[in-house]
Amino acid sequence: MSDENNSREMEQDRVDHVIHEINKKEKKLYAKSSDLKESVVELRKNFWEDVTVNLDEPDDVIETQASLKQQAELLSERERFHGKVGEELKILKRLKDSPYFGRIDFLEDSENQEDQIYIGISSLMDSDDEDFLIYDWRAPISGLYYDHSPGEAAFETIEGTIAGEITLKRQFIIRQGMIKGMFDTGVTIGDSLLQQALGNNASTTMKSIVATIQQEQNKIIRNEKSDLLIVQGVAGSGKTSAALQRIAYLMYRYREELNADNVVLFSPNPLFSSYISNVLPELGEANVRQTTFLDYLVDGIGNKFTIESPFEQMEYVLAETNQKDYSIRMKSMDFKSSLAFKSIIEEFVSYLKAHDIQFKNISFRNQVLISKEQIYDYFYSLDDEIAIPNKMELVSKWLLKELQYHQRQEKDKDWVMEQVELLDKESYLKAYYESQAGDEDEEGNAAMEEEILRRAVVKKVFSKMKRLIKLYEFVHVSATYKKLFTEWEPGNSPEHWRDICQLTALDLSRKSLTWEDAAPYLYFKGKLLGDNTDRSVRHLFIDEAQDYSAFQFALIKSLFPYTRMTLLGDINQAIYTNTTKENPLIPKNQPWEHERITLTKSYRSTKQITEFTRSFAPGHEEIEAFERNGSKPKLKGMKNQEGLEEALINEVESLKDTGYQTIALICKTLEESEEIFNLLMNKLNLKQVNEETYSFEKGILVLPVYLAKGIEFDAVILPDASKYTVESDRTLFYTACTRAMHELIMVSADETCMFIAEAPLETYAID
C-alpha cells in the first residue's frame, strides 16, 4: 500500500473515530434535551400551582409578585437552556457530515512532540473533555492554518506569541463522514480545493469559505485592532465573504460581550440580504441585524415624506435624461453628496440658533391650546448658550406643564361628559369603588365618581398629545429645512445654488425627499432634535461602501460614534457617479484614522473573464485573475434589433444545455429589463427581478445591473452592450460583466460598445 493510501486510511479511521465520539455526545445531548423539554412542559402546565397567590395584605401581594417572578425566571432559564442544547445538536449534525477541513502538525519551540491540530467549523472535545478532537477555525491556533505554509510559524494568544514549526499542512474534503479528497499543501490554501469550490455552479445563497480562506482575507477576518477597517477589493475578491466570516469570528472571540443584536450590516438591497442570510447560521451563528441604508433612513425620517430609493435615483439618472430639470438635478445630486453641503447645513443650523425654527400649534378639538408663536417665543427666550436639542428638551418640559393646566381646564367641559358615557363597565366600577373610599355622603360620592370619570377621560385624551410632545412633534422640521432653500442665503453660495434651491423646495412641498436629500435631512433633523446615536451597535459593516457619498458616510459616522466599522467596497463598481469624489475608499479622502487592506485577486470569474474585464476596469487597482480556465467572453454583434430575440433565446438555450442553472440577463436599467422581459416572456421561462424581489431562485433572471450588485451567476448575458455609451457607464458595465462566474456573453445590437473596444482582441471571441 502506498504512503498516500496508508495515510488516507489512517485519516479515515480518525474521521470514523471522531464521528463515533460525536454520536456519543449527540446521544447524551438528546437525552438532556428531552429532559429539558419535559421539564419546560411540566413547568408551563403547573405554573400556577407552584406560585403562592395571596393578595389579602400588601405584604402578601409583594410575596406573590416575588414568587411569580421566580417561577417565570425558572421557566425562561430552562427554555434558554433547551434552546442552547438545540443549537449544539445542530452543530454536531453538521460536524457529523464534515468534521473538519484542515490539519496542521505544529511543533512548538519548547516541545519535542508535535501536535496535530484538526480544524473545523466548531470545536469538539473528546469524551473526557481533555483533548480537542477538532479546533474551531476561529481559535487562535487555527490562525496558523490560514497564515502560514509549512516551516517556521507563530501565532498569538492572550499570553503572548507561540512560535514553532509547521511540519504538515493538509486539507480535506469530507462529505457524509467520508474523505472525498485530501491534499497536502504548500504556500496558499490549496488551489485544488479552491478550484473545486469555485468551479461549482452558482448557488442562490452565498457559501461560507472557512475551508479556503486566503491569507489576505484572513487579515480582514481576524483584525481586532482597528476601529475603522477599510477594504478595497476588486470584483469577486471575497469582500462580502470575508465580512461574514469576520462577523462569525468576532462573535466567537467576544462571545461574552457581543451578541447578534450588537452587530449591524448595511447591505445594498433586500435581494442581497437574502442571498447572504445563510452564511452565519451555517457557521453556527445567529444572523446579525441586516438592513439597507434606505430602510435605515426611512426609519429615522419617519413617514412624513415619500423617500426616493437609490434605485429610483439611478433610474432617473440613466433613463430620464430628457427631463427639463435633468441637468440641475444632476448638479444638485452632486452637491448634496458632498461635505460642502454638510457645512452649509451646519451654517444654517447656527443661524437657527437665533431665529426661524418653525413650530406647530398644539391644538385640541379645533382650538389652539398653545400657539406656534408662543412656542417660538419660549424657545428663543432660553439662554443662547444652550444647544438647540437641549432647548428642545426644555421646551418639551414646559409644554407638558402647560398641557397639564389645559387638561385641568378641559375636565369640566361638556364634551368630557359625552365621552364619560362611552367608558366601559370596568372604568365605572373602578370609579365607583374609589369614590366610596372617602367619608362623603351619597351625593358627595356621586360627585366624586363623576370627577374620577372625567379625570380618566381627559387623561386618556391628553396622553396622546403628551406622547407626541415627548417626541418633539411640536417642531416643524420639514418647514424649517425648507427655509434653507427658500429664505436663507449661505455666506458662500455654491454654484447653481438658486436653481438647486428651487428644485428642492418644489420636492419638499410635494412631501417627497430625493435620495440625495434623505441623508442630509436626517442629519439636519438630528441637529435640531438631538441625534439618535445608536450606542448598542458595537460593530457596523458596510458592504458596497463605494455607493455611499461622503455626506452619507459622515452621517453614519455621526450616528454611530462609538461603533467599530468595517467598510468593504470596490471603487471600480461605484455606479452612483456622485459617490466617487470623496468616497472613503479612496485613501486621500479619509480624515479618520483607519487601517486599509487591499484585495487584488478575483476569485469569482474564470481567468478569461477577469482578463477581459480588467482591461476596462475604471480604477487603477491591480487585478489578478485566479487560475481557473473557461471560455473567452463572447461578443455577439448584430446589425440591427431584429435578430435580437432569436439570438438571446439561442444563447440562453445553449447555456442551459451546458448545465448552467443561474443565467442572468443583466440590463443597464429597469426600463431595459422590462423591455427584454416583454420580448422574451413567451419564449423562455423568465423571472424578473425588481426592487421588491426579496429572494432569488435559480433559473433565467432578468434584472437591472444595480440589483445584481454583490451577487453572482453561472452565466451573464448583456442583452445590449451598445447601451453603454458614455464614460459614466463604465462602472455599470464593469459591474455587470463581473457578475459572471463561468460564461459572459455580450450582445451588441448597434455599434460595438466603447468599453469592449478597449479590451485587447485576444481577450474575447467575436461571434
Ligand X SMILES: Nc1ncnc2c1ncn2[C@@H]1O[C@H](COP(=O)(O)OP(=O)(O)OP(=O)(O)O)[C@@H](O)[C@H]1O
Determine the interface stretch with ligand X among 232-240, 303-311, 328-336, 715-723 (rule: CB under 6 A): 232-240
Q: Does 246 bind ligand X (CB under 6 A)?
A: no
Query: Under 8 Å CB-to-CB from 333, ≥6 apart: which residues?
Result: 313, 317, 514, 516, 578
Task: Answer for the pair 289, 265: CB distance below 8 angstroms, yes or no.
Answer: yes
Task: Answer for the pair 403, 363: CB distance below 8 angstroms, yes or no.
Answer: no
Considering only 223, 241, 407, 578, the residue that binds ligand X (CB under 6 A) is 241
Considering only 92, 119, 124, 213, the residue that binds ligand X (CB under 6 A) is 213
477-486 and 339-352 are packed helices; what angle lies between their axes, rounded to 10 degrees? 110
| Cα dihedral sign, 444-449-452-457 | negative
Backbone angles phi, psi at 104, to 5 degrees: -130, 145
Q: Does 707 bind ligand X (CB under 6 A)?
A: no
Closer to ligand X by Cβ: residue 341 or 603: 603
Query: 234 labelled as ligand-binding?
Result: yes
143: helix, coil or strand? helix
Q: Does 628 bind ligand X (CB under 6 A)?
A: no
Q: Which three cell numbers stand for residue 325?
A: 430639470
Instruction: Report how many residues bind ligand X under the rule CB under 6 A.
Output: 23
Binding to ligand X in span 521-580, by CB under 6 A: 570
Q: How far apart are CA 708 and CA 701, in angstroms?
A: 10
Task: Answer for the pair 748, 722: CB distance below 8 angstroms, yes or no.
Answer: yes
Query: 238 labelled as ligand-binding?
Result: yes
Closer to ligand X by Cβ: residue 70 or 215: 215
Which residue is it, cell 417642531? Answer: 475
Considering only 71, 142, 240, 269, the residue that binds ligand X (CB under 6 A) is 240
| Cα dihedral sign, 283-285-291-293 | negative
Q: How far apart are CA 655 and CA 666, in angstroms?
A: 15
Considering only 285, 334, 691, 712, the residue that binds ligand X (CB under 6 A) is 712
Q: Does 673 bind ligand X (CB under 6 A)?
A: no
For the bound state, the minimum distance from the C-beta of residue 541 to ligand X, rounded and expressed in Å, comes to 12
Q: How far apart are CA 155 and CA 117, in angstroms?
A: 13
For the bound state, the minimum distance from the C-beta of residue 147 to ligand X, rounded and expressed in Å, comes to 13
Q: What angle do CA 15, 125, 224 make, to 5 degrees?
A: 105
For the bound state, the minimum distance from the C-beta of residue 35 to ligand X, rounded and expressed in Å, comes to 41
For the bound state, the minimum distance from the C-beta of residue 229 to ligand X, rounded and expressed in Å, comes to 15
Q: Does 235 bind ligand X (CB under 6 A)?
A: yes
Considering only 122, 142, 212, 338, the residue that binds ligand X (CB under 6 A) is 212
553-560 own/partner pairs: CB under 8 Å, 24+ apart: 553/583, 553/584, 554/339, 554/342, 554/523, 555/519, 555/520, 555/522, 555/523, 557/592, 558/523, 558/526, 558/531, 558/533, 559/526, 559/531, 559/532, 559/533, 559/534, 560/533, 560/534
For the bound state, the minimum distance from the C-beta of residue 115 to ligand X, rounded and expressed in Å, comes to 25
For the bound state, the minimum distance from the C-beta of residue 202 to ligand X, rounded and expressed in Å, comes to 7
Q: Does 217 bind ligand X (CB under 6 A)?
A: yes
126-130 own/partner pairs: CB under 8 Å, 24+ apart: 126/21, 127/21, 127/24, 127/25
Beta strands 539-542; 263-267: pairing state: parallel
What is the signed CA dihedral for 288, 291, 292, 294, rounded to 10 degrees?
-150
Q: Does 245 bind ligand X (CB under 6 A)?
A: no
Q: How far apart are CA 586 and CA 571, in angstroms?
A: 8
Determine the interface stretch with ligand X among 6-14, 206-214, 382-390, 459-467 (rule: CB under 6 A): 206-214
For the bound state, the minimum distance from the C-beta of residue 571 to ligand X, rounded and expressed in Å, comes to 11
62-101 residues labelled b (16+ CB within 10 A) or e (exposed):
eebeeebeebeeeeeebbeebeebeebbebbebbbebbbb
Considering only 238, 300, 584, 633, the residue that binds ligand X (CB under 6 A) is 238
Query: 236 labelled as ligand-binding?
Result: yes
Q: Does 197 bind ligand X (CB under 6 A)?
A: yes
Query: Under 8 Å CB-to-CB from 739, ≥6 apart: which residues?
Result: 664, 666, 708, 711, 712, 713, 716
Determine the interface stretch with ligand X among 47-55, 165-173, 212-220, 491-499 (rule: CB under 6 A): 212-220
Half-sphere exposure of 603 (CA within 13 A, CB side): 24
Considering only 98, 122, 185, 214, the residue that binds ligand X (CB under 6 A) is 214
Binding to ligand X in span 445-504, by CB under 6 A: none
Closer to ligand X by Cβ: residue 636 or 739: 739
Determine the interface stretch with ligand X among 231-239, 324-332, 496-504, 668-676 (rule: CB under 6 A): 231-239
Nearest Cα to Cα of residue 747 among 631, 608, 653, 650: 650
For the bound state, the minimum distance from the C-beta of residue 608 to ligand X, rounded and expressed in Å, comes to 16
121-148 residues labelled b (16+ CB within 10 A) or e (exposed):
bbbbeeeeeeebbbbbbbbbbbbbbbeb
Determine the interface stretch with ligand X among 228-236, 355-363, 580-588, 634-642 (rule: CB under 6 A): 228-236
For the bound state, the minimum distance from the C-beta of residue 200 to ligand X, rounded and expressed in Å, comes to 9
Q: How far apart are CA 578 and CA 276, in angstroms?
A: 27
For the bound state, the minimum distance from the C-beta of residue 14 to ligand X, rounded and expressed in Å, comes to 25
Q: Does 583 bind ligand X (CB under 6 A)?
A: no
Closer to ligand X by Cβ: residue 305 or 733: 733
Determine the interface stretch with ligand X among 213-221, 283-291, 385-393, 650-658 (rule: CB under 6 A): 213-221
Task: Answer for the pair 295, 310: CB distance below 8 angstroms, yes or no.
Answer: no
Q: Does 236 bind ligand X (CB under 6 A)?
A: yes
Considering only 117, 124, 144, 209, the residue that binds ligand X (CB under 6 A) is 209
Task: Answer for the pair 396, 404: CB distance below 8 angstroms, yes or no.
Answer: no
Considering only 71, 218, 232, 237, the residue that binds ligand X (CB under 6 A) is 237
The one-character DSSP state at 544 is S
Which parts of 337-420 fold into alpha helices (H)? Answer: 339-352, 372-381, 388-411, 414-420
Nearest Cα to Cα of residue 569 among 558, 584, 581, 556: 584
Closer to ligand X by Cβ: residue 197 or 765: 197
Q: Does 222 bind ligand X (CB under 6 A)?
A: no
Query: 235 labelled as ligand-binding?
Result: yes
Binding to ligand X in span 102-131, by CB under 6 A: none
Considering only 33, 71, 232, 738, the residue that binds ligand X (CB under 6 A) is 738
Considering only 252, 603, 616, 764, the residue that binds ligand X (CB under 6 A) is 603
Closer to ligand X by Cβ: residue 579 or 722: 579
The one-character DSSP state at 283 is T
Q: Does 233 bind ligand X (CB under 6 A)?
A: yes
Task: Answer for the pair 53, 66: CB distance below 8 angstroms, yes or no.
Answer: no
Closer to ligand X by Cβ: residue 239 or 539: 239
For the bound state, the minimum distance from the C-beta of residue 558 to ligand X, rounded and expressed in Å, comes to 27
For the bound state, the minimum distance from the C-beta of residue 605 to ligand X, rounded and expressed in Å, comes to 9
Q: Does 606 bind ligand X (CB under 6 A)?
A: no
Determine the interface stretch with ligand X among 229-237, 278-286, 401-409, 627-635 (rule: CB under 6 A): 229-237
Task: Answer for the pair 166, 105: CB distance below 8 angstroms, yes or no.
Answer: yes
Task: Answer for the pair 345, 524: CB distance below 8 angstroms, yes or no.
Answer: yes
Considering only 710, 734, 749, 753, the residue that binds ligand X (CB under 6 A) is 710
Binding-site members for ATP are 233-240
Catalog residues that contact ligand X under the rule CB under 6 A: 194, 197-198, 207, 209, 212-214, 217, 233, 235-241, 570, 603-604, 710, 712, 738
Residue positions forming the annotated binding site? 233-240
